[in-house]
Chain A
Amino acid sequence: GAVVSQHPSWVICKSGTSVKIECRSLDFQATTMFWYRQFPKQSLMLMATSNEGSKATYEQGVEKDKFLINHASLTLSTLTVTSAHPEDSSFYICSARMRGLAGKNIQYFGAGTRLSVL
């Protein structure tokens, strides 16, 4: 399968600081990348859809000024958690969409980033 790299895998920061998470598709071009958040023992919650060269589309209830997304190239999307607070502590996962043989799109996921805000 396709490889998606996510960095860093774990970050601890002080309240009020900003944290940037990178998501890269290593062996394919991803026109669309997705950012999810997962709370303990819950499913993945889609935060936003990131399209290369255009503004991200945020899901209802997700603050766009809080979670800045940049999709600068076909292989890189970044999520910046601005002025992080303890309630932002979570597991963030990115995915990249790859066109499948049948024309349907399969999302391949990064390994995730554990964010802990003190």
Chain B
Amino acid sequence: DQQVKQNSPSLSVQEGRISILNCDYTNSMFDYFLWYKKYPAEGPTFLISISSIKDKNEDGRFTVFLNKSAKHLSLHIVPSQPGDSAVYFCAATKNDYKLSFGAGTTVTVRA
């Protein structure tokens, strides 16, 4: 049962523009959400996270928004850079610390 869903398998954006990645979840017990970035043949790299008691968290070019009522979160990257081209995974957890991952969204930043 896929509790975390990333419905867009790919996203193409022009360098300098905003990248918006979306993630939906079904388990209302999730209380912590994370975004990871992954290059081919490498492990995921932690990007940013947000607690369920907040609706926004910002770190440099990365901002995560959480809409609990809609069970939806998004990651904004602005401005997008060529080095941002990678696969982005959304993940969620409740107190038992196991992460549930989405299927990932492949971002391609065009020069």
A112 to B42, Cβ gap below 8 A? Answer: yes
- Residue count of chain B within 8 Å CB distance of chain A: 20
* Interface residue tally on A, bucketed by range: 20 to 34
B34 touches A44 (CB 8 A): no
Q: Is A13 an interface residue (CB 8 A)?
A: no
Query: A46 vs B93: C-alpha distance in the bound complex, in angstroms?
Result: 13
For the complex formed, measure the closest distance between the CB of A50 and the CB atoms of chain B, giving whole angstroms: 12
Question: For the complex, what is the distance from the CA of A109 to the CA of B89, rounded to whole Å?
Answer: 13
- The majority secondary structure among interface residues of chain A is strand
Within 8 A of B (CB), among A23-53: 32, 34, 42-44, 46, 49
Would you list the 7 A-B pairs with minimal beta carbon distance, nearest first? A109-B43, A43-B101, A43-B103, A109-B44, A112-B43, A111-B43, A44-B101
With A43-B89, A104-B51 as given contacts, are A97 and B97 in contact (CB-CB < 8 Å)?
Answer: yes
